[in-house]
Structure 1
Amino acid sequence: MRRLLLVPLVVLALLAGVTAAVTAAPEGQPTGRTDTLFPQQGHPGYDVRHYDVRLDYDPATNRLDARTTVRATTPQRLKTFSLDLVGMKVTSVRVDGRPAGFRRDAQHLVVRPRVPVTGGFTTTVAYAGTPQEIVDADGSTEGWVRTDDGAIALGEPVGTMAWIPSDNTPGDKARFRFRITVPRGVQAVSNGDLVSKVDRGAGSTWTWRVRDRMATYLAMVAVGRFAVHRSSMTSVTGRRIPIWSFVDPTTGRSTTARAALPKVLRFQEKLFGPYPLTSAGLVVDAASVGYALETQNRPFYPDSVDSATLVHESAHQWFGNSVTLRDWHDIWLPEGFATYAEWLWTGAHDGRTPAQRFDDLYATPASDGLWSPAPTEFTDSADLFGEPVYNRGAMTLQALRERVGDTDFFRLLKRWAAVYRQGNAGTAQLLALAEQVSGEQLDQLFADWLELDGRPAGY
């Protein structure tokens, strides 16, 4: 099942008011705000440039010994600052190589460096214990999720704070390196590119490097006994894209999905432009969470992979992972685009066209859950992954396509993916770019579909 089919509500989250349109912050600058839906997540005083995450994990006991170094920059003079972290026992914190004071505050690690920091600084946190599963209100889980042979770490929307001390908001993207030590014979997979696997004594250390900037909610580590499949494909640019897939043998067969992945990515390259990341793949693991997730480079699937879900999570590599929302109230952007990618794939492969999908949905009763709350106007985090975000988000794109025409619409898809590649952007930026590409005034169309409750009239 896709995340669309669940409605997660993280019990630790606090609610806030509706967001205004946001603009992308340049790399190296603080985001200037915390998230409007989860106001305790994110810290606007600094910008993280890089995470170096070292994990030593024992699947038999579920114990994690870890050390994370966070390299950040700030234009301010910070006497204290916070990182998002729940659970685990912090044993030491060092700032720029010097021991620093620290305390725990709800879901934060509050750090007091010996000397106030300004400009670039590094923070190294040593911590250990049993990482938490974060239980959502509907019974689903994220965070550090146990499996029969290990664990998988999943982060959307806030679960990464269970295992990485971080600036845990989508507006602060960074580069990562993961070094994961596990017992020999056990595999450890993460985002990015496999740099090395070194066997030493009874353990193996897998090193993964994420060269493309990534939001913390897209970080993933899976530990278990996987069948490992390596291949590659050639991008439309001629670039070779490595494909690493890790499949739990106890799940359904993945042969069809692995064979289909290059075909899906080539189809999407024609529509969205060159594949934006350094590698691709799948992680199929028997985790009892009930959803697939667009973890960067190689999405996670809890069982056998159907074609619609494969298309959806692959499209997220452009929309959500490369072009990332800055605030959770703009979740319709990645989910609407990924849902529309499904419609495009089905329409090109002897199924219903996007226009037919739109018409079928538009005919649903006004009392149907599709029409409220509007995709950008929800105030309850229970609506974060609701039907309006997915289907009404995709309908917004179809309404836009019919208004501006195919030529400008598909030009817009490629421009959106290129202009904000590896960056953050919100609804206001999409509206501005759509008006620039089409030469039309589109603010009323965006308001009808994204801001107003009820079925928009005249479509």
Structure 2
Amino acid sequence: MLTRPRTSKALAAAVIALLLPLGSGAATAAGPRFVPGAPGAGDAYFPTAGNGGYDVAHYDLDLDYTPPGPAPAPLTGQLQGVATIDLVATQDLDRFNLDLRGLDVTALSVGGKVAAEVSAPAPGAVVEGAAYWQTQDDSARVWELTVQPRPKLKAGQRARVVVAYGGVTTRPTDIEGALYGWVTTRDGAMVVSEPEGSMTWYPVSDHPTDKATYAFEITVPEGKVAVANGLPAGPPVTSNGRTTWAWNAPDGQASYLTTASVGDYTLRTSETADGLPIIDAVDDALTPANLAATNASLALQDDMIAFFEETFTPYPFGSYGSIVDDDSVGYALETQTRPFYSRVAREGTVAHELAHQWFGNAVSPERWQDIWLNEGWATYCEWLWSENQGRATAQTRFESVMATPADNAFWELDVSDPGPLGLFLRPNYDRGAATLHALRLRLGDDVFFAGSREWLTRHDDGTATTEDFETVFEEVSGEDLGAFFDTWLRTPAWPSMS
């Protein structure tokens, strides 16, 4: 513990007064001190993603989308939305931020009180009354909607924020230059937002530490299908050539796991042997070969769910399914309850994305540097499923990874901290999975799977770190595993089994 020198109360009060932002209430016995919420959730990789000072409980997204016209029309769409956001202040708030990229706010209210749009003020400037402003800086990757409620919000106070917004949709890219977020396609939109792309289609606290429930109403041209998380909230309604699709996702989810994909889909409904609803949305334009492979893979979803439930814990959500889109991106993402697949859903990928519903969705990374906890586990579950099906065993797959030469660049990544440009590098997947198998070999099956179940139970519907993972397995095993995790995760070198 760091010991700080004591100061007098008078001196402390003077220091606090100097530190207070302009326009904030002073800290006195008569009332609270109101300060701006932090402009980010504190993630080292994405400093302005997510926000501080409040916790979102629920998003209600009312979207109206018109896809591009046929080629050679520009590959742009038109999106108009109203986001109703129910949040709770976690501190006395003078103002707070939401993440919103590339779309313009046209109206905003807090607690029913309309806020005025103002230009972004200079640092330290005082803005009078309820107000909002946007900061859009592509070069600095800062996209913020700042909201100044009046009256100010007290810690513990609930508030409803209603934001009307919209604009032209394009094909945004993440920090690595890969497509993500609301990706405009010729027949609709591919909506896949990892790591912080949800801000490209709705105002959001865009970090896994702020999970919330969701409801969607998505209006599209008649004939198009809009698919989101969860279950339908009623049949689609068509009027004046446009159809509204309503979906309800009552399980808490991280923002990057939301989707509202639009396309020429056929919806297929079924349920598992235990009655879990499965809804698959399959693009009508899949090639015959891709459709055949997709059908074969999706037919195994029921068996996969049963296998992972027997191995770990009950399936954590109220529905499941898939979105298989005939796009050209080559993408798969574990969007919650309804993973997204580009062009084809292959068996190994389906097992991987299903496993993410436990590892990544139910238990999400508290920091993006912990992504190996998502990808290593999902990859290891692929290995387990392969073995269950009588193909390559987990041990065989482990030996294949370990056969990678020691001087190969594969071993040069610090898996525990891969950097923002290294989130989706293969070591996070394969070395992450090898780490789990090595842990299993060290502890034995009984302890390893008991630790896995404890991990999922303890951190269900929350977030956790690599250090939390180590703690669980040290408690379950009764061993000091610090040196093990140093070797397998943090040392950028071929790990010795000794």
For the criterion TM > 0.5, the same-fold answer is yes
Gaps of 5+ in 1: 1-29
Deviations 1:322-358 (A, max 9, x none): 1111110000001010000011111222222222222
Give the secondary-structure state (helix, strand or coil) at the position aligned to 2:285: coil
1:162 paired to 2:162: no
Preserved contact between residue 143 and residue 154 of structure 1 (Cα < 8 Å): yes
Which residue number corresponds to residue 230 of structure 2?
A: 192
Picking from 37, 62, 73, the partner of 2:45 is 37
1:110 paired to 2:157: no
Relative distance call for 1:126 and 1:142 in structure 2 (3 A) is same
Picking from 33, 56, 67, the partner of 2:82 is 67
Give the secondary-structure state (helix, strand or coil) at the position aligned to 1:135: coil
Relative distance call for 1:316 and 1:309 in structure 2 (3 A) is same
Instruction: Give the Cα separation in 2 of the matches to 1:198 and 1:137.
Output: 38
Which residue number corresponds to residue 441 of structure 2?
A: 402
Instruction: Give the Cα separation in 1 of the matches to 2:474 and 2:68.
Output: 56
Shift of 1:33: 4.0
Which residue number corresponds to residue 366 of structure 1?
A: 406
Query: Quick one: which amino acid aligns to residue 84 of structure 2?
Result: T
Query: Quick one: which amino acid aligns to residue 445 of structure 1?
Result: F
Relative distance call for 1:140 and 1:420 in structure 2 (3 A) is same
Picking from 346, 360, 371, the partner of 1:306 is 346
Instruction: Give the Cα separation in 1 of the matches to 2:239 and 2:458.
Output: 44
Deviations 1:85-113 (A, max 9, x none): 11111101101110121111120011111
Give the secondary-structure state (helix, strand or coil) at the position aligned to 2:56: strand
Preserved contact between residue 377 and residue 432 of structure 2 (Cα < 8 Å): yes
Picking from 275, 285, 288, the partner of 1:250 is 285
Count of aligned positions: 425
Preserved contact between residue 369 and residue 387 of structure 1 (Cα < 8 Å): no
Which residue number corresponds to residue 23 of structure 1?
A: none
Instruction: Give the Cα separation in 1 of the matches to 2:397 and 2:39.
Output: 37
Instruction: Give the Cα separation in 2 of the matches to 1:303 and 1:290.
Output: 7
Instruction: Give the Cα separation in 1 of the matches to 2:68 and 2:172.
Output: 20
Instruction: Give the Cα separation in 2 of the matches to 1:434 and 1:40.
Output: 32
Which residue number corresponds to residue 96 of structure 1?
A: 111
Give the secondary-structure state (helix, strand or coil) at the position aligned to 2:348: helix
Instruction: Give the Cα separation in 2 of the matches to 1:177 and 1:115.
Output: 28
Which residue number corresponds to residue 357 of structure 2?
A: 317
Give the secondary-structure state (helix, strand or coil) at the position aligned to 1:382: coil
Picking from 43, 46, 53, the partner of 2:54 is 46
Instruction: Give the Cα separation in 1 of the matches to 2:43 and 2:176.
Output: 22
Picking from 51, 58, 63, the partner of 1:55 is 63
Shift of 1:275: 0.7
Pick which of 442-451 and 242-251 moved more: 442-451
Q: Please give the root-mean-square deviation of Cα atoms over the aligned residues, in Å.
A: 1.7
Query: Quick one: which amino acid aligns to residue 250 of structure 1?
Result: A
1:264 paired to 2:299: no
What is the TM-score normalised by the length of structure 2?
0.82
Query: Quick one: which amino acid aligns to residue 42 of structure 2?
Result: T
Higher alpha-carbon Rg = 2
Picking from 424, 429, 432, the partner of 1:393 is 432
Picking from 92, 95, 105, the partner of 1:80 is 95
**Percentage of pairs with the same residue:** 40
Give the secondary-structure state (helix, strand or coil) at the position aligned to 1:80: strand
Which residue number corresponds to residue 292 of structure 1?
A: 332
Preserved contact between residue 173 and residue 215 of structure 1 (Cα < 8 Å): yes
Which residue number corresponds to residue 478 of structure 2?
A: 439
Instruction: Give the Cα separation in 1 of the matches to 2:90 and 2:295.
Output: 50
Instruction: Give the Cα separation in 1 of the matches to 2:318 and 2:390.
Output: 31
Shift of 1:31: 12
Give the secondary-structure state (helix, strand or coil) at the position aligned to 2:456: helix
1:429 paired to 2:468: yes
Deviations 1:276-311 (A, max 9, x none): 111000100122322211111010001121111010
Instruction: Give the Cα separation in 1 of the matches to 2:199 and 2:174.
Output: 14
Q: Please identify runs of 4+ aligned residues in structure 1 that moved more than 6 A.
A: none
Preserved contact between residue 132 and residue 162 of structure 1 (Cα < 8 Å): no
Shift of 1:369: 2.7
The one of the two structures with greater contact order (alpha-carbon pairs below 8 A, sep at least 6) is 1
Preserved contact between residue 68 and residue 188 of structure 2 (Cα < 8 Å): yes
Instruction: Give the Cα separation in 2 of the matches to 1:173 and 1:244.
Output: 23
Query: Quick one: which amino acid aligns to residue 116 of structure 1?
Result: K
Give the secondary-structure state (helix, strand or coil) at the position aligned to 2:476: helix
1:209 paired to 2:248: yes
Relative distance call for 1:322 and 1:288 in structure 2 (3 A) is same
1:449 paired to 2:488: yes
Gaps of 5+ in 2: 1-37, 70-76, 116-130, 137-142
Relative distance call for 1:145 and 1:294 in structure 2 (3 A) is same
Shift of 1:137: 6.3
What is the TM-score normalised by the length of structure 1?
0.89
How do 1:167-182 and structure 2 match up within 5 A? 167-182=205-220
Relative distance call for 1:368 and 1:257 in structure 2 (3 A) is same
